[in-house]
Amino acid sequence: MLRSMYSGIGAMRNFQTKLDVIGNNIANVNTYGFKKGRTIFKDLMSQTISGASGPNAGAGRGGTNPKQVGLGSQLAAIDTVHTQGSLQTTGRVLDLAISGDGFFVVGDASGNNRMYTRAGNFYLDSQGYMVNADGQYLLGTDSTGKITSLKISSTAKSLSIGADGKVNIVDDSGNLQTIGTIQLAKFTNNDGLEKVGNNLFRETTNSGTLTIGAPGANGTGTIVSGALEMSNVDLAEEFTEMIVAQRGFQANTRIITTSDEILQELVNLKK
């Protein structure tokens, strides 16, 4: 069977994966904190017809290069691009954006089962705890430095969150109190994080060293209250990549059609 046919089939499969990634990017163009994906290809392998040879002065001949036929392409990587998305002002105190590196830490009330997110749309539940849209607690440190969930008193008259992550309230006596500090997580390799849905990332063996600390420390960014980070998907770029993928898919179907026509000619040699 012709090698070109199998090369075309493999390439069509790869371009379909590229279209799947592009489709997911476009679907999440308005998802807060979303980080787009990118598909990278590499050549599969090459069949060596003849190897290289060095010059032979005694025979009066120079060296020759190897002769190889490539056998198609394969997926090299599907990256997550962690570039900063633009910030959209909302004016809502519990809408938080990170300007710079880092992730919000969410988990259960005791600070365990941690996940990480760039989506900063947080809310208060019936008990006054700061939670995300799925009810997971936003984690920070209390006055003792322990990582725990953050609770706003029902008697608080106002709430403010500083760029350093400090959550301040004005109590019923008019006194300013700091109830805790929102913590940000930083990894040595953000690309190693695993997407688990619901705007969440999970730590993996390749995400590197995890550091959790106050915003602005250890290379983390600062918190912007009253704003949300938009998706970093560029529609113009995605539609351009879609056209490239479509044409690549179309060209490889033509390779298969041409290979099929050649095979048909071979079959027709015996009539």
Write the pLDDT tens digit of every residue in 219-230.
999 999 999 999
Query: Percent helix, strand, coil in the chain (nearest 5)?
Result: 25, 35, 40
Q: Which tens digits make up the pLDDT trace of 11-27?
A: 999 999 999 999 999 99
User: Which H helix or E strand runs over 12?
Assistant: helix 3-27
Per-residue model confidence (pLDDT) at position 18 = 96
In contact, 207 and 192? CB cutoff 8 Å: yes
Neighbour-count burial of 30, counting CB atoms closer than 10 A to its CB (0-12 exposed, 13-18 middle, 19+ buried) = exposed
Q: Extract the residue ranges of the chain whose pLDDT is less than 50.
A: none
> Which pLDDT does position 245 carry in this prediction?
95
| 96 DSSP β-pair partners | 225
Q: What is the pLDDT of residue 173?
A: 79
Q: Is 47 exposed, middle or buried, given 0-12, 13-18 or 19+ CB atoms closer than 10 A?
A: exposed
CB-CB neighbours of 36 under 10 Å: 23
* pLDDT at residue 145, as a whole number: 86
Non-local (6+) Cβ contacts of 263 within 8 A are 1, 2
Q: Model-level pTM greater than 0.85? A: yes
pLDDT at 271: 67
| Residue-wise pLDDT tens digits, 189-199 | 999 999 999 99
Query: Which CA distances in Å does 6 have to 67, 253, 263?
Result: 20, 11, 13
**pLDDT computed for residue 155 by the predictor:** 85
